Amino acid sequence: MKNEMLNDLEKVLFDEAQIAERIAKVATEIDRDYAGKKPIMIAVLKGSVMFYTDLMKKMNIMAEMDFMAISSYGNETKSSGEVKMIKDLDRCIEGRHIVIVEDIVDTGYTLNYLKATLSTRNPASIKVCSLLNKKERREVNVEPDYVCFEVGNEFVVGYGLDYAQFYRNLPVIGVLKKEVYSL
């Protein structure tokens, strides 16, 4: 199954069952924290798509879905914090509880930008739910409120996360072999 992509992994960090188990737990936490609050769940395209749809399906509370897309200008510019919005939300978030859903928080610049931008629109609250948290690489002081897995400073792909736009459709999360990206 998916051998071509699996062969490019040095190791699998989290398999489908482990991912599903953590998502179910996080969905329960969000259900509990947002009972009666009808939050707007915001997916940040494209990396969060797999996580977002599985998380939403596990949640039992009433919640809206909306989508944002962000582009970075390559790593150099990104580490200076310069990110640009390429797709904004469809609706007003004033007075609403919002949860930003990310696949990974790495340096933190993207999340910092998102939180700063969205907070100017006066939502009732902003929280962040991330599939992965790569704390070691953090450059700005921003933390997700809900995390499925902590990861080290390794090149992780799969389940939404890409290398050069590929590997997003792997159902597992793994570490990419060095020879694949250093060719």
Of the candidates 173, 133, 129, the one whose C-alpha atom is nearest the C-alpha of residue 150 is 133
Q: How many residues bind ligand PRP, per CB under 6 A?
A: 16
Please tell me whether residue 115 binds ligand PRP under the rule CB under 6 A: no
Decide if residue 103 touches ligand PRP (CB under 6 A).
yes
User: Does residue 108 touch ligand PRP according to CB under 6 A?
Assistant: yes
- The nearer residue to ligand PRP, 80 or 119, going by C-beta atoms, is 80
Which of 114, 72, 119 has the alpha carbon at shortest distance from 96?
A: 119
Least distance CB 114 / ligand PRP (angstroms)? 8
What is the 3-state secondary structure of 68-128?
EEEEECHHHHHCCCCEEEEECCCCCCCCCEEEEEEEEECCCHHHHHHHHHHHCCCCCEEEE
Q: How many CA atoms lie within 13 A of 76 on its CB side?
A: 0
Cβ-count burial 70-99 (b if 16+ within 10 Å, e if not): bebeeeeebeebebeeeeeeeeebeebbbb
**Residue 8 engages ligand PRP in binding (rule: CB under 6 A):** no
Among 18, 53, 72, 117, binds ligand PRP (CB under 6 A): 72
Quick check: 47 binds ligand PRP (CB under 6 A)? yes
Nearer to ligand PRP, 20 or 45 (CB): 45
Q: How far is the CB of 70 from ligand PRP (least distance, A)?
A: 6
Is 101 a binding residue for ligand PRP by CB under 6 A? The answer is no
110 is a site residue for ligand PRP (CB under 6 A): yes
Residues that bind ligand PRP (CB under 6 A): 44-47, 72, 102-111, 162
